[in-house]
Amino acid sequence: MTRVGARLLRRAATGLFVLVAMPTLTFCIYWAMPEEPGRFIYPFGFQTTRFELQDGARRLGADRPKLDQYASWWWHLLHGSFGNQWGGATLNDNRLIFSPIAPTLDPAIRETLCLLVGGTLLVVLLAVPLGALAGRSVGSLSDRVISLLALVGVCVHPIVSAKLLTTFVGAHARFIPAGGYCTFVRHAPPPPAPGQAAVAAVCGGPVDWFTHLLLPWTSFALLFLALYTRMIRASVAETVGEDFVRSARAKGASEARVLARHVLPSAAPRVLTMVGMDIGTAIGVCVFVEYAYGFRGLGRLAVYAMAGDPFVGALDLPLLLAVVTVITAIIVLGNLAADTLFTVVDPRVRPSERAGRTKAIAAGVM
């Protein structure tokens, strides 16, 4: 096995361990708190009797041994199901009716991934030219202006930037909606009921999807744009005076070619490293962006799952485990993708030996 394959395999094993450890830790912390799941069945506050709480826990299966509940949750997860929510469970003729987690979780994942991936691409597309422009002429007017704008961007909270964008852009540019989310695929409206008017077509389609995400992508990108611009600026400033850059200029290469082919590739490993490290932070930023623009993504769902139902006063354990598992999987897969791309753009990670040829190293001389 090559060195690259062994490295990626270790990363994958570490990610699998984290993917198992986080739901396990969440499960242990939940049952370490004085939770009473029976309140989901009898949500009457402090007037609920002890018998009703015990009966509610029995109906939910929360009175079973903890290892049995833990193994049952993993069994459902490995079979592609997150199970049912405790929230919204009702008794109908002494029969408990559940709401599955998947219809709530699936659209939330799609909205957050669209915001996360699109915002990340926008950060990279803006930070690379701005950082290169500032780094090639340190101390110039363009460098000072870009550094000042980057400082302002990192100091502005995403909710503040979202409010400014919706006030000054969304209110005047009619083709850019100020909030809400539209799906990428347009769905046909449901047929009207007998005696009722036809239902209007729901928002959807590539154009609506793109225009509804323009402002959220911008709010997401403004916070990270400053960090990545300054990092690329520092990398370009360090590389622009190297011997191989001067040699490329001496051979007649244009300034644009020197930056694109010789200077900027040195910043790619740093960018990928930061992207992998910032995935968890980016999901936290999505909480504010989704709230500001009225999205119902994974960030808002995570806040709801961790805060608990205010009308019940208890945490929904199956929903909490599902949210933690999905967020952990996004972070693990994102880091694994960044590590894979890192092996492509950084030749120092790839094996230095060629087939049929060996290199001897003696006293630092190859």
pLDDT, tens digit, 9 for 90 and up, residues 21-65: 999 999 999 888 887 888 888 766 556 678 888 888 888 888 889
User: pLDDT-based confidence at 361, cuts 50/70/90?
Assistant: very low
Task: List CB contacts of 114: < 8 A, sequence separation 6 or more.
Answer: 184, 209, 213
Percentage of the chain beyond pLDDT 70 is 87
Q: Positive or negative CA dihedral for 57, 63, 69, 70?
A: positive
Domains of the chain by residue range: 15-100+308-345, 105-187+201-293
More confident site: 120 or 240: 120
| Choice among 70-74, 215-219, 252-256 with the minimum mean pLDDT | 252-256
Tens-digit pLDDT profile for residues 93-108: 778 888 889 888 999 9
pLDDT of res. 366: 34
pLDDT of res. 323: 93
Q: Has residue 285 got a pLDDT over 70? A: yes
Task: List CB contacts of 174: < 8 A, sequence separation 6 or more.
Answer: none
Which of 146-160, 179-193, 334-348 is predicted most confidently? 146-160
Cα separation of 283 and 223, whole Å?
Answer: 13
Hey, what CATH topology would domain 105-187+201-293 get?
A: MetI-like fold (1.10.3720)
Tell me how far the alpha carbon of residue 269 is from its chain's centroid: 20
Partnered with residue 183 across adjacent β-strands are 204
More confident site: 219 or 269: 219
Q: Has residue 198 got a pLDDT over 70? A: no
Q: Report the chain's mean pLDDT, rounded to a whole number.
A: 82
Average pLDDT over residues 182-201: 63
Predicted model pTM: 0.83
